[in-house]
Structures are given as C-alpha cells and as structure tokens.
Amino acid sequence: MSPPILDLLRERRKELGQESMVSALLDRRPLLLRGALIGAAVLVGAVVSTALVFLRFQYVRMQTAQLTRFEAESTQMQAEMAASRAKLDQITATNRRLTEGLTTLRTSSALLADLQLRTPEGIQIQSAATEGTNLVLKGQALDPLAFARINALQLELSRSPLLKAKGVALVKLERVPPSEAPAGQAGTATLPPTPAKVGFELSGAFATLPPARQLSVMRQLGSEGMVRRLQLLQAEGLIP
C-alpha cells in the first residue's frame, strides 16, 4: 500500500473547485507510462541504429580492404603484362630485323642479275653500293651516244621491280678525256687514242615488295637461294 500523499493546498483547491492532487496524479499515470514506453522505444531504436551503423561500418571496411587487395593484385598483373608485352615487342622487332636481313634485296644475287640484264651495251658499271635505302651506281658510258646510253640505263632501272619506278635519278655527269695510246716502235703505226667516255652516277630507291611478289621476282631472276629462304620463312610463319 502506497503512503498517503501530503497535499498542503487541498483546502485551497476545494475553495477553487479544483480536483485533488491524488486524483490528478492518478489521471496522469497512464501518460507517464506512455511517455516511459515512448522513451524506451526511442532508446531501443537508437541502440539498434547504432548497432546497424557499426555493422555497416565493419562491412564497408572489410569490402574496402578486399578492394584494396584486388587493386594491388591488378596493379601487379598490369605490370607483369606490360613487361611481357615489352619482351614480346622486343622479340618481334628482333625477328623482323632478322627477317629483313635474310630477305633484303641489297645484298642479293638477284640484284646483280637484274643489273646485268638492264645494262645497255657501251655502259660499264664500275661500282654498285647501297646508301641507306638507295642503290648508288657509278660507271662510264662510251662515246658516241654516251648520254643516250646513260638515259637508256636510267629508264631500264626505272622498270626494275627491285627499285621504285620514280626513284631513279641522275646524280652526276662528267666527261672523261680520252687517253693517248703510247707511241709505237720504229716501223709500227701509232695506235689511235681510246674513245672518250662520260662518267655518271645514278641513285635509285629500293622498292618494298610484298613476300609473294618478292618470291615471284626472285624466281624470274633465277635466285634459287633467295627463293628457298623465302619459302622457309613463310613455312615458319615469319612472313605472310
């Protein structure tokens, strides 16, 4: 049993026609209970929300750690792929240089055979050298018609499949004075002087031939060694 409630203003309340404190407290007890329940519910909600936020934080941290690990692995894989790609490019470049060295026209016997076929009569080729991607020919043409012979050689070289059609140019022309023959002995006639010559220099850019075209040209020029070399490289897949 609860102790009696001391109400010092009970008489005053009666005079004013107000209810007693006991009645007022009894009427407000449900409100207090309701407020306590609401407060407890809010507290429980706050605790649950805090727990959910903590769990979410732990989950996000775990996912972040996993993503960081994946990023590190991805970076390592990309570095390994880049190193492998660089090594592959280096090997490919080396194979390309070796293939070009094996199939180059600049040191091929086919080039000499082609020059022999295209050199007109009265032309003497004194040297044939390569300078970069160009073929440089030096020689002399006999008079008469020395300039016509040189022009014919230039036209023939322009038709060569080994050189670019519009890449053959005349670099230099110079007339070589005739040399006098030595005087004959007594009773013999003096030999006539040798005919005059015209020195020349021609330069032509090498053509870039597809493997199939190069194989056909090598067969036409009778370069069997180059033909076998090209066929071997095709069989190995180094050239198309």
Number of domains in the chain: 2
Distance, in Å, from the CA atom of 111 to the CA atom of 115, rounded to the nearest integer, reads 6
**Amino acid 157: pLDDT:** 92
CATH number at residue 147: 3.30.1360.100
Residues 97 and 115 in one domain: no
Q: What does residue 226 show for φ and ψ, rounded to 5 degrees?
A: -65, -35
**pTM for this structure?**
0.53
Are 30 and 84 within one domain? Answer: yes
Nearest in space to 110 (alpha carbons), one of 230, 239, 219: 219
Of residues 16 and 64, more confidence is placed in 64
pLDDT in tens, 182-218: 555 544 555 566 678 999 999 999 888 877 787 788 8
Q: Do 62 and 91 reside in the same domain of the chain?
A: yes
Whether residues 51 and 65 share a domain: the answer is: yes
In a domain, 78, yes or no: yes
pLDDT tens by residue, 212-230: 787 788 888 777 777 787 7
177 in Cβ contact with 196 (< 8 Å)? yes
pLDDT digits (tens, 9 = 90+) for 26-54: 556 676 777 788 888 888 888 888 888 98
- Inside any domain, residue 174: yes
What is the span of the domain harbouring residue 73? Answer: 14-103
120 and 64 in a common domain: no
Domain limit, last residue, from 48, 72, 103: 103
Residue 220 lies in a domain: no
Instruction: Give yes or no: residues 116 and 92 share one domain.
Output: no
